[in-house]
Structure 1
Amino acid sequence: MKGIYWQKGDTLDYTPKEAVEYGQVVDLTTRIGVAASDIAAGEQGQLHMTGVFQMDKDGSEIALGAALYYDKSGDQITTTAEGHTPAGYAAAPAAAGTGTVLVKLLG
């Protein structure tokens, strides 16, 4: 088998069943993407698949480099893997009680 270069992959085409707003986290089961713009239901748009994004988190302390997961029901980032979607890793530490963390997406 040969691999033929298709695209860089920083963004991927995505057609949602429901409208997605710019910046909204999209759960792709094995990773997340972030909407690059508003995407209407049934219309094709793009998801960012690489980069560092500031996202809401649970109240826990997070160390630089910690594995991060998307808690879809809470719509926030957590360090708890069980039942959550891999998101990436912490691009900077985040203190307990703070509301956000910098997430380096898995890509």
Structure 2
Amino acid sequence: MVRVTTPAGGVASGDALIVGRIFGIAAYSSTEGDSVELSTIGVFQLPKASAAVLAVGGRVAWDNTAKEVTTPAAGRFPIGVAVEAAGNGVTSVAVRLDGVATAAA
């Protein structure tokens, strides 16, 4: 767990959040300016870009505009690997967060 300051708009429990170079899942709801703990490793079921085709063990990234997991590409934040296959039309996927603080690709 990593403690960060909640950004503008606040965050709900279970929401994905990028703070600087850290990606994590909020452990609880928090209002703007308060602290919140983010899980940066572990397996989480996350929303997925419907058209993205992900293989077990394939690298995945977070599209912070659409707020969903997708394939790595420029402007997307690398977050870990898919732990299940998720094809076209599937709207969520289990992802193992790798806890690596990084910048968008």
Which residue of the partner structure matches residue 21 of structure 1? 12
Which residue of the partner structure matches residue 45 of structure 2? 54
2:75 aligned to 79, 83, 86, which one?
Answer: 83
Q: 1:9-56 CA distances to partner (integer Å, 9 max, x unpaired)?
A: xx1111113211101110135441000000111111200111111111
CA distance in 2, matches of 1:40, 1:99: 28
Structure number having the greater strand percentage: 2
Q: Over aligned residues, Cα RMSD in angstroms?
A: 1.3
Which residue of the partner structure matches residue 103 of structure 2? none
Q: Which runs of 5+ in 1 are unaligned?
A: 1-10
Matches within 5 A, 1:1-107: 11-18=1-8, 19-58=10-49, 59-107=51-99
Q: Which has the larger radius of gyration?
A: 1
TM-score with structure 1 setting the length: 0.83
| Residue identity opposite 1:106 in structure 2 | D
CA distance in 2, matches of 1:81, 1:31: 18
* Contact 1:31–1:86 under 8 Å retained in 2: no
* Contact 1:31–1:106 under 8 Å retained in 2: no
Q: Which runs of 5+ in 2 are unaligned?
A: 100-105
State the 4+ residue runs in structure 1 displaced beyond 4 angstroms: none
Q: Residue 87 of structure 1: CA displacement?
A: 1.2
Q: Residues 29 and 64 from structure 1, CA distance in 2 versus in 1: closer, same or farther, beyond 3 angstroms?
A: farther
| Residue identity opposite 2:81 in structure 1 | Y
